[in-house]
Amino acid sequence: MPIYEYECSGCTHRFELKRKFNETGAVPCPNCGCETQRVFSATPIIFKGPGFYVTDYRKSPPADGKGEVKASK
């Protein structure tokens, strides 16, 4: 079950709540009982592993001719 963050419109209290995907309806504030709104925030992106830089941002071969394969006639 996902965890959602809510903010109270009355006392500005923020809290987290586990709810099922198919649950709908208003969530009352646990402090004052006022109406709440769900808070949306950006999800961080974490790049882990030793191969990320090597596989995704590999430098192009040097332009000085080293490393090029020439066909013989």
Digit-coded pLDDT (tens) for 20-69? 989 888 999 999 999 999 999 888 887 776 666 655 555 666 566 555 55
14 within 8 A of 5, measured Cβ to Cβ: yes
Residue 73 confidence (pLDDT): 56
Residue 27 confidence (pLDDT): 93
Pick from 41, 45, 46, 35: nearest CA to 13: 35
SS3 15: strand
